[in-house]
Structure 1
Amino acid sequence: MKIFVLAAFGMSLALGVFSSFRPTEKSAGQKPNIILIVADDLGYGDVGFNGQTKIKTPNLDRLAAEGMNFRQQYAGTSVCGPSRAALLTGIHTAHATVRELSEWSLNGKPADLIPADVTVAEELRRAGYKTGIIGKWGLDEGGTTGNALAQGFDSFYGFRTHREAHHYYPEYIWQNNEKVLLPENDCAKKIGTYSNDSFASQALTFIQEHTKEPFFLYLPFTLPHNELTVPDDSKRAYLNLGWPKRPMQVAHYHHDLDGNLAYAGMVSRLDRYVGQLMAELKKQDLDENTLVIFTSDNGPGFDNGFFDSNGPFRGGKLQLYEGGIRVPFVARWPGKIKAGSVSGHPCAFWDFLPTACEVAGIKPTANIDGISYLPELLGKSKKQKKHDYLYWEINEREGPVQAVVMGPWKGIRFYEKPFELYNLHDDTAETTNLADKHPNLVAKIKTLMNETRTENPEFPLTKRKALY
């Protein structure tokens, strides 16, 4: 792959208008390409197709209009590292190698993937796919076994650790195992190359270089995660709208002065990247032979209510209420997925690996928690297998916390606090705790939480503070 370090990323495709078209000889007979786009801290309600009215997301809305919108898609958990680990390995946080960020492990050991973990990239490479990751990896905190190139990816461009991804004008970006210095960048002054512009440019190049072979492109942008900053051209559409200003304090994060303006601009810039990618697929005659999935790693971490980032749900990032784990999710595959379709199928990040494997015509090699949702994508709901339950845990701030969704019921167990039980069919916002009215159901869910979990010495369900 070529190294793109641009003084200013040329938005030659502007808003990236894209459309469906007839299959071509170039894509005929080739296994479907798979592009997985993951936003960072984007809430369920931050996109137009889920009801957002203040922030404009025309390309994402078109993606939904031409594909399937999942209304009950869950992240791996409500913080980045373990959520992404579940996405890549098909294993949820009851059994995962990575269950927290490193600073929340018991002894502060790096929370990395290990050689025994089998990622979706390893599976797809076995099926003949070229694999690449561009953006935030965040699973190589120790610089050893978690390296993306050791976990099935042929190429890598981006941030190895989650802390490297905190700034948008970084001092360096990794190209495979080489640290590419960006001397023209100044994080505090916000001068140089905006990192996600480079990610988008690299993604276009990846597509251009893999037109004759099936590919899997994992594209985890860092927008709209803190810090809240974006080039001025992405703010212009939101100037002079009478929005309340949200003054930001500069510390570890070098925020722009107005948080509301910056946040909206960041989401819109992410939307622009998606439009560019879709236009490139059309240009390369790959559109109809490519499954594109868009989602977010967890619930919103910024909104104070102005944008309704969590939509109709309660809570956000670092919480296991629906707002922290239910995320936007759209899948588009012309000719395969019915345009404008909506699914209520409850699924989660650990279902992506078996889905990608089924698309590629192989079976997962590891023992996983996920179930392929390909039948649902193809409109074969009667053949779609469902989970008996879905499980999460997290130990940051309010933790340890466990949650289980089982049919319409959701149980949440906080450390040394009363159990919470909600009927999501009747009470999506989780406002009425029904635990006292259903003691037998509470007992069943508690037993399930206990029996499902595999102990891990670095991630016990004990009360603790971050080590650094």
Structure 2
Amino acid sequence: PTRSALMTGRLPIRTGYNSATPPGIMAGLSPNETTIAEVLSDAGYKTAMFGKWHLGDINESEPQNMGFDEWFGVLYHLNAYTQESRIGYDPDAELGKPIYALVEARRGENLTLVSPLNLTAVAFIDEQCVKRAVAYIQNQSDSTEPFFIYLPFTRTHFPSVQNPKWAGRSSRGPYGDGLMELDSYVGEVLDALQEKGIANNTIVVMTSDNGPTLDQWPDSGFSPFRGGIGTAYEGAVRVPCIFWWPGKIEAGKTSNEIMCAADLFSTFASLGGGAIPDDRPIDGIDQSNFLLGGQNNSNREWVVWYLGSESAATTMPAAIRWHQFKIHFKTYDSFQGPASEYGQIPAVYNIEMDPREEHNIAGEHDFVVNAGIKIYRGLVASMRQYPNTPSRAFPNVAATAG
């Protein structure tokens, strides 16, 4: 879902991508959506992707047909490529014909299989992707055309299969080794930009699509906040985000202002001179002035999270962040649940004072609940005017449900 928000600037519930799709389901991001790669391509940018897509494995939803001039990487989450080595695996149980391999393609072409992936080979995916990214930077640096690179690493998703070059380098086991490896790759990209003399004309953003998995043995991560991936608690949705643009973005500055992945779409479009679609709701907000120091505050006052496969306009969001408050209408303890429906009064937390969301203050803060309901009503009106795409995770169920 976060990847769809980043790519389209739209809430995942609008695009039908409000739940991750398993391999072979024969669904994907609708070709009617406009991606940031398409926006920048239309603005004169060369576009390339190296890494994890996870927005569908049908031809029309693959990166080479969604705005990228070229791409190299994987279609699914990392653990998909280890299925065949798991006890009890039965190929007849697959939904379709998953492509368990490194793949590549140029704009408009069909995928080419580069090499199969298994429990051993997944250790080298990021290494190969960053080599491609660095080579691309070197090849494009002498061009007069600007370029956009999307480099979604597979680290530190489970399973933490160690690259032999990094095994034992940290004091934190395979997971820590993977973090060090990932850090090194980011350094290689920044070094390439600097060596080619284009760092001052390039904005680099590093962030995560979600917080850690807390219940996946032995690859569980850690968060100082409550909850992990699959929830709407801060441990799932509050992630680091680093913007780097020498000479343009103040170095060392930190902020706790609200931004979300959808804002990257609108911000990149603004900085790159791209045209944002005006025939559909765009939930992303242009944050370029905030990032460049023209204002101290983010342009975003609230952000909303929908969880699960429901995509009806009247679906109640799981949670809404409004100013310093978080309103929970429905909670999950993890991906697997259990789920908790609140009754007449949703839970309210003051995130600034209570970042672990431990002290419910709903009874004394009616105005916060009212603000959340007002936001919800506005979203319902928007979704009724511009109907949501049926769920991509469970397309047949969604279609039957109407």
State TM-score, norm by structure 2.
0.78
Root-mean-square deviation (CA), in Å? 3.3
Cα separation, 1, equivalents of 2:225 and 2:218: 14
Retained in 1: the 8 A contact 2:48–2:149? Answer: yes
Give 1:417's aligned residue: 342
AA partner of residue 204 (structure 1): V
Structure 2 equivalent of residue 380 of structure 1: 294
Partner residue, 1:313: 225
Q: What SS does structure 2 have at the residue aligned with 1:313?
A: coil
Which of the numbers 124, 140, 156 marks the counterpart of 2:56? 140
Give SS of 2:242's match: strand
| 1:164/1:135 CA distance change after superposition, 3 Å | farther
Report the counterpart of residue 288 of structure 1 in structure 2: 200
Deviations 1:213-245 (Å, cap 9, x if unpaired)?
Answer: 21000000000101111123323233xx5xxxx
Query: Structure 2, unaligned stretches of length 5 or more?
Result: 86-98, 310-314, 331-339, 398-402
* Letter of the 1:114 counterpart: S
1:387 maps to a residue whose letter is R
Matched, 1:360 2:272: yes
Structure 2 vs 1, CA of residues 377 and 457 (structure 1 numbering), >3 Å: closer, same or farther? closer
The residue aligned with 2:356 is 429
SS at match of 1:421: strand
Residues 422 and 433 in structure 1, CA contact (< 8 A), matched pair in contact too: yes
For 1:127, which of 43, 51, 69 is the aligned residue? 43
Q: 1:171 to 1:410 in 2, by over 3 A?
A: closer
- 2 CA distance for matches of 1:109 and 1:303? 25
Aligned to 1:95, the other structure's residue is in SS state helix
User: Aligned ranges for residues 5-16 of structure 1 at < 5 Å?
Assistant: none
Query: For residues 122 and 68 of structure 2, what CA distance do their matches in structure 1 show?
Result: 28
1:150 aligns with 2:61: no
By relative contact order (CA 8 Å, sep 6+), the higher-ranking structure is 1
Number of aligned residue pairs: 353
Q: Taking structure 1 as reference, are residues 379 and 432 closer, same or farther at Cα in structure 2, changes over 3 Å only?
A: same
Structure 2 counterpart of 1:230, from 152, 162, 180: 162
Equivalent residues in 2 for 1:259-338, closer than 5 Å: 261-302=173-214, 310-338=222-250
Distance 1:193 1:182, change over 3 A: farther
| Closer, same or farther: CA 327–265 of 1 in aligned 2, 3 Å | same
Counterpart check, 1:92 vs 2:19? no
Counterparts in 2 of 1:431 and 1:395: CA distance versus 1, 3 Å: same
Preserved contact between residue 16 and residue 390 of structure 2 (Cα < 8 Å): no
Q: Does 1:205 align with 2:117?
A: no
TM-score (norm. length: structure 1): 0.68
- In structure 2, the partner of 1:11 is none
Q: What is the aligned partner in structure 2 of residue 31 from structure 1? A: none
Q: Report the CA distance shift for 1:372/1:281 in structure 2 as closer, same or farther (over 3 A).
A: same
String of CA shifts for 1:368-396, please: whole Å, max 9, x gaps: 111111112211115x6622421111117
1:449 corresponds to which of 345, 352, 376: 376
3-state SS, counterpart of residue 201 of structure 1: helix
Offset at residue 450 of structure 1 (A): 4.8
For 1:300 and 1:401, the matched residues in 2 are separated by: 21
Cα shift at 1:279:
1.1
Give ranges in structure 1 of 5+ residues lacking alignment: 1-81, 242-259
Change beyond 3 A, Cα 1:226–1:322: same
Task: Indicate the structure with greater helix content.
Answer: 2
Counterpart residue number, 1:248: none
1:194 deviates by 1.2
* CA shift for structure 1 position 288: 1.2
